[in-house]
């Protein structure tokens, strides 16, 4: 039975919000893929968390995309069961997002401690392990940092007065040997890497809030449409 009057407005509003929801799913998937690419360079320091965050994002994005598609189909076909299923799934997603947000806030200090510990454990392997050396050099070059806490951490790994060349502001062969403090990046990498993590988490949180607002509108519209469809069938 075709929706009429106010229910038709609700129907198209629900379709509109779910189309946006569908697009948000695509954005989350793309964002997760980009974050996964970025974190893959630092996975030795971030541990399993480095891959877990973007993978979870991609999974959520796929779920959002499929749910948005279900909501669009339910609205166009005015199918009571599809709309009811859609509303239930949206409520579940909202609860999962709330739980994930609370968990992220509670565990934020543990994440920083884990990154610091991984970095400190890997530093002694800089000379003996070529992969570790490449990871540290790449991180220090890109983040403009030196050592875990600061440049003095290298004194116990290399001979005193030396740092890796990747610590130099202008990198040249041997620039880290008998360096001058003014010529190197002195800030520790752990703080800058944590800032990178936090910045990405804040961006993700902003997207999550925007998606949550759309979800709430979607639930309200779906409930109104279900009520309208049920009333029309009762009249018939």
Q: What are 124-161's pLDDT values in tens digits?
A: 999 888 888 988 998 899 899 999 999 999 988 887 77
What CATH number did the domain enclosing 151 receive? 1.10.1450.10
Nearest in space to 163 (alpha carbons), one of 130, 187, 194, 193? 187
Residues 107 and 211 in one domain: yes
Give per-residue burial for 183-206: e unless 16+ CB within 10 Å, then b: ebbeebbbbbbbebbeebbeebee
Asked if pLDDT for residue 1 goes beyond 50, the answer is: no
Same-domain status, 211 and 118: no
pLDDT at 51: 61
pLDDT over 60 (residue 229)? yes
Residue 1: Cβ within 10 Å count: 10
Q: Of residues 211 and 113, which shows the higher confidence score?
A: 113
Residue 197 lies in a domain: no
SS3 177: strand
**How many angstroms separate the CA atoms of 159 and 154, rounded?**
8
Place of tokens 């779910």: 18
Tokens of 152: 């003095």
| 189-235 vs 130-143: helix crossing angle, rounded to 10 | 80
Q: Is residue 70 part of a domain?
A: yes
The angle that helices 48-77 and 80-106 make with each other, rounded to 10 degrees, is 160
- The larger pLDDT score, comparing residue 53 to residue 221, is at 221
Tokens of 108: 């934020």
Number of separate domains in the chain: 2
pTM above 0.75, yes or no: no
Range of the domain at 58: 6-111+202-235
The verdict on 103 and 134 lying in the same domain is no
Are both 207 and 106 inside the same structural domain?
Answer: yes
Q: Are residues 31 and 136 in the same domain?
A: no
Per-residue pLDDT, averaged over 59-84, amounts to: 80
Q: What is the pLDDT of residue 135?
A: 87
Query: Does residue 12 share a domain with residue 107?
Result: yes
Looking at the domain assignment, is residue 173 inside a domain?
yes
Query: Given a cut of 80, is residue 80 above it in pLDDT?
Result: no
Closest CA to 192 of 131, 132, 150, 153: 150
Kind plus residue range of the DSSP H or E element containing 218: helix 189-235
């Amino acid at each position: 039975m075709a929706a009429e009057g106010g229910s038709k407005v609700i129907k198209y509003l629900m379709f509109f919000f779910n189309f946006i929801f569908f697009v948000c799913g695509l954005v989350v998937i793309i964002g997760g893929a980009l974050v996964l690419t970025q974190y893959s360079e630092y996975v030795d320091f971030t541990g399993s968390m480095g891959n877990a965050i973007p993978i979870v994002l991609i999974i959520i994005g796929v779920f959002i995309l499929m749910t948005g598609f279900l909501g669009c189909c339910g609205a166009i076909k005015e199918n009571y069961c599809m709309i009811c299923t859609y509303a239930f799934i949206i409520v579940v997603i909202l609860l999962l997002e709330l739980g994930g947000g609370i968990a992220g806030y509670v565990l934020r200090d543990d994440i920083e401690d884990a990154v610091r510990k991984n970095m400190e454990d890997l530093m002694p392997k800089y000379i003996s392990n070529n992969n570790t050396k490449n990871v540290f050099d790449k991180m220090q070059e890109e983040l403009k940092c030196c050592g875990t806490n600061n440049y003095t951490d290298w004194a116990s790994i290399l001979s005193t007065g030396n740092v890796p060349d990747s610590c130099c502001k202008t990198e040249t062969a041997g620039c880290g040997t008998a360096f001058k403090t003014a010529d190197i990046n002195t800030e520790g990498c752990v703080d800058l890497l944590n800032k990178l993590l936090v910045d990405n988490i804040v961006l993700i949180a902003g997207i999550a809030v925007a998606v949550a607002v759309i979800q709430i509108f979607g639930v309200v519209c779906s409930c109104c449409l279900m009520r309208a469809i049920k009333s029309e069938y009762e009249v018939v």
